[in-house]
Structure 1
Amino acid sequence: MKSLSGKTALVAGATRGAGRGIAVELGAAGATVYVTGRTTRTERSEYNRPETIEDTAELVTKAGGRGIAVQTDHLISEQVQSLVQRIEQEQGRLDILVNDIWGAEHLAEWHVPVWEHSLEKGLRMLRLAIDTHLITNHYALPLLIKNKGGIIIEMTDGTSKYNQNNYRISLFYDQAKTSIIRMAWALAQEVQTYKCTAIALTPGWLRSEIMLEHFAVTEENWQDAAAKEPHFLISESPRYVGRAVAALAGDTEVERWNGQSLSSGELAQVYGYTDVDGSQPDCYRYLVEIINAGKPANVSGYR
Structure 2
Amino acid sequence: MTNPAIAVVTGASRGAGKGIAIGLGEQGMTVFVTGRSIDHSDATGWDGKPLAGTIHETAAAITAAGGRGIAVACDHGDDAQIAALFDRVRAEAGRIDILVNNATHIHHQLIEQAPFWEKELAAVGIIDVGLRSAYVASWHAAKMMVEQGSGLIAFTSSFGASCYMHGPAYGAQKAGVDKLAHDMAVDFRPYGVRAVSIWLGPQITERALVAAEVNKEQYEGFMAMAEMPQFTGHIVHAIAADPNGDELSGHTLIGAEIAGRYGITDRGKTPPSHREMLGSPRDPNPAVVY
User: Counterpart in 1 of 2:155?
Assistant: 154
How do 1:103-122 residues align onto structure 2 when only pairs under 5 Å count?
Answer: 103-108=105-110, 110-119=112-121, 121-122=122-123
Task: Note the C-alpha offset of 1:287.
Answer: 3.7
Structure 2: how far apart are the matches of 1:211 and 1:179?
Answer: 23
Structure 2: how far apart are the matches of 1:139 and 1:49?
Answer: 30
Task: Note the C-alpha offset of 1:148.
Answer: 2.2
Contact 2:110-2:166 at 8 Å conserved across structures: no
Task: Note the C-alpha offset of 1:190.
Answer: 1.5
Deviations 1:47-102 (A, max 9, x none): 85320011111111111111100000111111111111111111111111110011
Task: Note the C-alpha offset of 1:43.
Answer: 6.2
Task: Note the C-alpha offset of 1:196.
Answer: 0.5
Instruction: State the Cα RMSD in Å.
Output: 2.5
Structure 2: how far apart are the matches of 1:25 and 1:43?
Answer: 22
1:191 paired with 2:182, answer no
Task: Note the C-alpha offset of 1:214.
Answer: 2.5
> Is the partner of 2:118 in helix, strand or coil?
coil
Q: Which moved more, 1:243-252 or 1:83-92?
A: 243-252
TM-score (norm 1): 0.82
Task: Note the C-alpha offset of 1:44.
Answer: 3.5
Deviations 1:130-150 (A, max 9, x none): 121122122222112212231
Structure 2: how far apart are the matches of 1:109 and 1:153?
Answer: 25
Identical positions, percent: 31
- Residue 30 (structure 1) aligned to one of 24, 28, 45: 28
- Residue 41 (structure 1) aligned to one of 39, 42, 49: 39
Contact 2:105-2:125 at 8 Å conserved across structures: no
Deviations 1:147-189 (A, max 9, x none): 223100011122xxx743x222411111121111111111111
- Residue 258 (structure 1) aligned to one of 249, 258, 282: 249
Structure 2: how far apart are the matches of 1:228 and 1:73?
Answer: 31
Contact 1:35-1:68 at 8 Å conserved across structures: yes
How do 1:72-151 residues align onto structure 2 when only pairs under 5 Å count?
Answer: 72-108=74-110, 110-119=112-121, 121-151=122-152
Change (3 A) 1:55 1:287: farther
Q: What amino acid is aligned across from residue 282 of structure 1 in structure 2?
A: P
Task: Note the C-alpha offset of 1:286.
Answer: 6.4
Change (3 A) 1:240 1:287: farther
Q: Which moved more, 1:178-187 or 1:225-234?
A: 225-234
Contact 1:202-1:241 at 8 Å conserved across structures: no
TM-score (norm 2): 0.86
Contact 1:185-1:198 at 8 Å conserved across structures: yes
How do 1:265-276 residues align onto structure 2 when only pairs under 5 Å count?
Answer: 265-276=256-267
Q: What amino acid is aligned across from residue 72 of structure 2 in structure 1?
A: V
- Residue 9 (structure 2) aligned to one of 4, 8, 11: 11
Structure 2: how far apart are the matches of 1:73 and 1:184?
Answer: 22
> Is the partner of 2:149 in helix, strand or coil?
coil
User: Counterpart in 2 of 1:299?
Assistant: none
Task: Note the C-alpha offset of 1:288.
Answer: 4.7
Change (3 A) 1:45 1:206: closer
User: Counterpart in 2 of 1:178?
Assistant: 175
Structure 1: how far apart are the matches of 2:219 and 2:42?
Answer: 31
Contact 2:204-2:223 at 8 Å conserved across structures: no
Contact 2:149-2:193 at 8 Å conserved across structures: yes
Deviations 1:280-302 (A, max 9, x none): 1123246459xxxxxxxxxxxxx
Structure 1: how far apart are the matches of 2:40 and 2:111?
Answer: 30
Contact 1:97-1:153 at 8 Å conserved across structures: yes
User: Counterpart in 2 of 1:230?
Assistant: 221
Task: Note the C-alpha offset of 1:8.
Answer: 0.9
Unaligned runs of 5+ in 2: 280-290
1:61 paired with 2:51, answer no
> Is the partner of 1:173 in helix, strand or coil?
helix
